[in-house]
Amino acid sequence: MPPREVPLAPADPVPEGRIVLLLHLDDLTSESLPLDASQVARVGGLIASVEAAAEPVRAADAAAMADAVARAGAHFGCPAGPVQDGWAGGLPVVTPWGPVGPSAEALPAGCHRIRRDWDERAWPLSNRGCSRLRSAIPKMRAP
């Protein structure tokens, strides 16, 4: 029996002022995040691979994260690198929506999980395979 559908949990509000941006493998495109009221002070990358992932997969994850962190640092004009102890420096941690899986489980408590407008429209359609979402994409792309 398939799991019961549950409503999508609400996204967190985006904090105003200085923040740190935490990227994870489920969303590496920071440039389109709704951060207009925020100033990104630092970007960090968190890699949480599946335990059984093969070394080539882990290497691809690391390369993708390095690219995303470098792009985000250049886009926001701030330092960027791997997450280390004390990395946030007391600032609010903001991360793109990551609902389930290793990335979601590895996110620190208290981080603000945010979504773009198109995430809001797409996620409710993403619970029954790709055909339901694929058929809705033209409507979601319309202005």
Pairing outcome for strands 38-46 and 93-96: unpaired
Interval 17-40: pLDDT, tens: 999 999 999 899 999 999 998 999
Does residue 61 have a pLDDT over 80?
Answer: yes
- Indicate the SS3 state at residue 140: helix
* Beta strand extents in the chain (DSSP E only): 17-24, 38-46, 80-82, 93-96, 112-114
Name every residue whose Cβ is closer than 8 Å to that of residue 31 and which is 6 or more positions away in sequence.
71, 72, 75
The better pLDDT of the pair 79, 138 is held by: 79
Phi, psi values for residue 70, rounded to 5°: -65, -45
Interval 69-106: pLDDT, tens: 999 999 999 999 989 889 999 999 999 988 778 888 88
Domain ranges of the chain: 17-115
**46 vs 7, 65, 124, CA distance in Å?**
27, 8, 26
